[in-house]
């Protein structure tokens, strides 16, 4: 509606002309100074200035005293400033645009004052804007310490200097909130020892930047104070407080900053007594009058992690004529009614009557559990006393797994790579068989002597016996699973061993590692896999029989097929994406062959079991990770795949149960 024609800059004023499509009366031009710290500011502005216009028909002229407007704004310049131009017409505000007739003078920069210049911009919406540029000027800071006071001397091209400590909202982000002026003395600006009474320190680590503010041409400017002699830093600052230490240091950009860290003197537990079920007396190693503050604890993962404590409840410390101070932890009162779906962690901070805080520590490792009706509450730790509240789920969906890592590893809460702690809130894995083959499952039992497996661990031996005895179906039935997850990794990649009597053995890794397998199975059977022309026909017959037998006790709609599939990409140790084929970890022909067979098996199964559920994680684009704890390759995914699979399985089950 309004399009700029041209502008001229003379003597700190801008003469701007623009045109309209129709004639207007009483138009105004409004300069809106954008809020520059907003990430997605939309049309957020923190100052505006309106101007009357001179209009001649469709052409309108604005006389803009830009430097005068900047002075009237009164705000301190901290960086470049974007100014939006809006035309006020008939109670509407419309952005001024640059149409095809506008001839730009490019990014011409014009001086406004000693430390300010000005240019024009046209954004992606074709809107015409001003940009005021703040010049670069150095404020260097020197310092000296005497009598518990640190004095700072400033070198700057600005006048009317002030120095502020500006608190970062978060330690690793240069966004500030609290502003504390340093007092001025004849020889400089002073950081007093008692400043902690002003600072309002909430975090374990608080960073204050030194900001130098001054005046030039009637305009206030501020910038970070540069360290004059970097080799003098860091140096400690003593605030005379047992809970806080200070340090002056140089930032990565050469600026001076003050870091204040919260410290906790040690106060270890002498011993713990369970006075009543779920009520623990925590006896301290020292006497103190005060309170025990139960705090929610976590680590805030900024650029560098930081402890985070938030007060939950407080408990008075007691003496009762005893030799040592103690307090009571009542598990039911504190945590019994919590119904969260995630693990909660608590720590205890002891606070004495004079305000000194202590972190509750341990003399020796601790591990004990108290179950409530809704949670398991753990008291544990090596050196620091922790309380973990972990939700109980008595009625989780009962899951059976016939599959490989593709299906089983989502139910791993121990390994740091998988770290799927929450799966037990929804699922109870009551049956699992590792690396099964559909062909082997429906085969007749294989005769063997248990003495041949004398050195095998009981857990592994259980899976070996199930593979040899072919008790899969009765075992699944006895487990009374709600859903059974299946994948065909073994049938695709490894195949089976076929004996002369027509029986088949799956190449379960527990069996494959035994002397029985190496010295007997390999000599009395032959390998049968995708290279055998009859393999897929044998597999199809086995699949048909499997579906028939499993549906004797489990409805077809409760079968969940994990589509699996090899991946061609992975993250290296630097999180760069690499290709398994290009890195010669697998050949292209093998990759295509395995995935083609896998898809063929999946589609046959789904055709024969049309009511089965589909668990397809490939559509989400997960790739591999060189950090995977099992043998690295295109058959193992990044950790997010396994955690994401739990959510996908829950979605499938909710869909099924709400139909």
Considering the domain boundaries, does residue 204 fall inside one? yes
- Domain match, 124 and 153 both: no
Opening angle at CA 399, ends 644 and 370, nearest 5? 85
Domain of 332, CATH number, reads: 2.60.40
Query: What confidence score (pLDDT) does residue 304 get?
Result: 79
Task: State which residues form the domain around 211.
Answer: 139-262
Distance of alpha carbon 563 from alpha carbon 604, whole angstroms = 12
Burial class (CB in 10 A: 0-12, 13-18, 19+), 29: buried
Q: Tell me how far the alpha carbon of residue 312 is from its chain's centroid.
A: 24
> Are 358 and 264 spatial neighbours (Cβ–Cβ below 8 Å)?
yes
Last residue of a domain, one of 82, 109, 134: 134
Number of structural domains (the chain) is 4
> Average pLDDT for residues 594-623, to the nearest whole number?
97
CB atoms within 10 A of CB 609: 19
- Domain match, 652 and 504 both: yes
Distance of alpha carbon 308 from alpha carbon 317, whole angstroms = 23
- Nearest in space to 259 (alpha carbons), one of 327, 328, 168, 322: 168
Considering the domain boundaries, does residue 578 fall inside one? no
Q: Tell me how far the alpha carbon of residue 604 is from its chain's centroid.
A: 40
Of the chain, the percentage scoring pLDDT greater than 70 comes to 98
Measured between alpha carbons, how far is residue 585 from residues 406, 579, 632, 637 in Å? Answer: 19, 9, 9, 15
Pick from 6-15, 233-242, 275-284 the range whose average pLDDT is largest: 275-284
- Domain match, 280 and 232 both: no
- Nearest in space to 288 (alpha carbons), one of 370, 238, 366, 355: 355
Considering the domain boundaries, does residue 211 fall inside one? yes
Give the pairing of strands 205-216 and 188-191: unpaired
The arrangement of strands across the sheet holding 496-499 comes to 504-506, 496-499, 525-528
Query: What confidence score (pLDDT) does residue 220 get?
Result: 93
Sign of the dihedral through C-alpha 226, 228, 234, 240? negative
- Domain match, 523 and 647 both: yes
Burial class (CB in 10 A: 0-12, 13-18, 19+), 78: middle
pLDDT (tens digit per residue) in 258-305: 999 999 988 899 999 999 999 999 999 888 899 999 999 998 877 778
Considering the domain boundaries, does residue 234 fall inside one? yes
Last residue of a domain, one of 391, 419, 444: 391
**Residue 471 corresponds to which tokens in the numbers above?**
């008790």
Considering the domain boundaries, does residue 229 fall inside one? yes
In the block, residue with structure tokens 């609290």: 178
| Confidence tier at 552 by pLDDT (50, 70, 90) | very high
- Domain match, 386 and 487 both: no
SS3 31: strand
Considering the domain boundaries, does residue 495 fall inside one? yes
SS3 158: coil
Distance of alpha carbon 489 from alpha carbon 1, whole angstroms = 64
Burial class (CB in 10 A: 0-12, 13-18, 19+), 268: middle
Model's pTM, two decimal places?
A: 0.74
> Phi and psi at residue 283, in whole multiples of 5°?
-95, 125
The yes-or-no verdict on residue 41 having pLDDT over 60 is: no
Query: What confidence score (pLDDT) does residue 659 get?
Result: 84
Q: Which residues pair with 334 in a beta bridge?
A: none
The yes-or-no verdict on residue 449 having pLDDT over 80 is: yes
Burial class (CB in 10 A: 0-12, 13-18, 19+), 583: exposed
**Residue 87 corresponds to which tokens in the numbers above?**
């035309």
- Domain match, 304 and 386 both: yes
Distance of alpha carbon 199 from alpha carbon 349, whole angstroms = 21
Query: What confidence score (pLDDT) does residue 321 get?
Result: 80
Domain of 439, CATH number, reads: 3.40.50
The DSSP-derived string for 97-136 is: B--TT-----S--EE-SSSEEEEEEE-TT-BEEEEEEEPP
pLDDT (tens digit per residue) in 329-340: 999 999 988 998
Task: Classify 290 in phi/psi space as left (phi over 0), alpha (psi -120 to 50) or beta.
Answer: left
DSSP 445: P
Distance of alpha carbon 335 from alpha carbon 294, whole angstroms = 11
Give the pairing of strands 116-122 and 357-361: unpaired
Rg (CA), the chain: 36
Q: Which residues pair with 49 in a beta bridge?
A: 31
Last residue of a domain, one of 367, 391, 415: 391
> Are 529 and 535 spatial neighbours (Cβ–Cβ below 8 Å)?
yes
Opening angle at CA 658, ends 654 and 659, nearest 5? 120
Q: Tell me how far the alpha carbon of residue 436 is from its chain's centroid.
A: 36
Which range, of 33-47, 276-290, 422-436, averages the lowest pLDDT? 33-47
> Phi and psi at residue 499, in whole multiples of 5°?
-90, 165
First to last CA, the chain: 54
SS3 563: coil
- Domain match, 202 and 93 both: no
Measured between alpha carbons, how far is residue 120 from residues 66, 75, 84, 97, 104 in Å? Answer: 13, 21, 10, 12, 9
The yes-or-no verdict on residue 582 having pLDDT over 90 is: yes
- Domain match, 126 and 156 both: no
- Domain match, 484 and 615 both: yes
pLDDT (tens digit per residue) in 190-216: 988 777 776 678 889 999 999 999 999
Q: What is the mean pLDDT of the chain?
A: 91
- Domain match, 43 and 128 both: yes
Considering the domain boundaries, does residue 386 fall inside one? yes
- Domain match, 223 and 361 both: no
Burial class (CB in 10 A: 0-12, 13-18, 19+), 501: exposed
Considering the domain boundaries, does residue 629 fall inside one? no
- Domain match, 510 and 416 both: yes
- 3-class secondary structure for 54-79? EEECCEEEEEECHHHHHHHHCCCECC
């Amino acid at each position: 509606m309004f399009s700029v024609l041209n502008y001229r800059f003379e003597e700190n004023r801008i003469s701007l002309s623009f045109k309209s499509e129709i004639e207007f009366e009483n138009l105004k031009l409004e300069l809106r100074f954008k809020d520059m710290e907003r990430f997605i500011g939309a049309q957020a502005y923190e100052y505006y200035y309106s101007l009357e216009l001179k209009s001649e028909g469709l052409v309108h002229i604005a006389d803009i005293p830009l430097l005068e407007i900047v002075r009237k704004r009164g705000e301190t310049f901290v960086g470049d400033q974007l100014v939006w131009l809006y035309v006020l017409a008939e109670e509407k505000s419309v952005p001024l645009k640059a149409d095809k007739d506008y001839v730009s003078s490019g990014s011409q920069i014009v001086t406004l004052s000693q430390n300010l210049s000005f240019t024009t911009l046209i954004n992606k919406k074709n809107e015409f804007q001003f940009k005021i540029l703040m010049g670069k000027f150095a404020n260097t800071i020197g310092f000296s310490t005497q009598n518990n006071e640190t004095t700072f001397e400033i070198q700057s091209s600005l006048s009317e200097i002030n120095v502020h400590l500006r608190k970062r909202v978060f330690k690793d982000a240069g966004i500030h909130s609290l502003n504390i002026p340093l007092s001025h003395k004849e020889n400089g600006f002073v950081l007093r020892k008692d400043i902690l009474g002003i600072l309002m320190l909430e975090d374990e680590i608080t960073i204050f930047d030194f900001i130098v503010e001054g005046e030039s041409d009637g305009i206030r400017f501020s910038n970070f104070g540069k360290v004059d002699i970097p080799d003098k830093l860091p140096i400690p600052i003593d605030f005379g407080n047992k809970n806080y230490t200070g340090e002056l240091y140089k930032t990565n950009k050469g600026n001076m900053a003050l870091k204040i860290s919260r410290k906790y003197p040690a106060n270890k537990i002498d011993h713990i007594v369970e006075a009543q079920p779920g009520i623990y007396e925590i006896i301290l190693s020292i006497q103190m009058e005060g309170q025990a503050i139960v705090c929610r604890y976590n680590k805030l993962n900024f650029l560098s992690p930081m402890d985070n404590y938030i007060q939950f409840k407080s408990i008075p410390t007691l003496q009762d004529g005893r030799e040592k101070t103690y307090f009571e932890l009542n598990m039911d009162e504190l945590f019994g009614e919590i119904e969260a779906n995630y693990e909660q962690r608590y720590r205890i901070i002891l606070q004495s009557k004079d305000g000194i805080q202590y972190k509750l520590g341990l003399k020796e490792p601790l591990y004990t559990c108290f179950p409530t009706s809704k949670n398991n509450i753990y008291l544990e730790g090596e050196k620091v006393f922790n309380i973990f509240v972990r939700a109980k789920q008595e009625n989780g969906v009962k899951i059976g797994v016939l599959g490989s890592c593709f299906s089983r590893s989502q139910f791993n809460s121990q390994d740091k790579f998988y770290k799927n702690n929450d799966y037990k809130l929804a699922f109870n894995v009551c049956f699992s068989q590792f690396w099964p083959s559909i062909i082997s499952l429906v085969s007749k039992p294989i005769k063997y002597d248990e003495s041949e497996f004398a050195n095998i661990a009981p857990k592994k031996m259980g899976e070996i016996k199930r593979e040899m005895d072919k008790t899969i179906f009765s075992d699944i039935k006895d487990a009374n699973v709600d859903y059974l997850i299946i994948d065909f990794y073994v049938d695709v990649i490894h195949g089976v061993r076929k004996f002369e009597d027509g029986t088949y053995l799956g190449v379960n890794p527990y069996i494959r590692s035994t002397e029985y397998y190496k010295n007997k199975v390999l000599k009395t059977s032959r390998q049968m896999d995708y290279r055998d022309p009859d393999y897929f026909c044998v597999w199809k017959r086995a699949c048909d029989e499997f579906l028939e037998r499993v549906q004797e006790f489990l409805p077809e709609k409760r079968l969940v097929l994990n589509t699996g599939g090899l991946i061609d990409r992975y993250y290296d140790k630097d999180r760069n994406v690499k290709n398994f084929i290009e890195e010669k970890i697998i050949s292209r022909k093998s990759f295509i062959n395995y995935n083609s067979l896998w898809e063929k098996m999946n589609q046959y199964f789904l055709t024969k079991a049309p009511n089965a559920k589909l668990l397809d994680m490939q559509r989400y684009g997960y790739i591999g990770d060189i950090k995977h704890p099992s043998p690295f390759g295109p058959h193992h995914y990044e950790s997010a795949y396994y955690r994401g699979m739990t959510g996908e399985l829950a979605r499938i089950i909710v869909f099924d149960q709400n139909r």
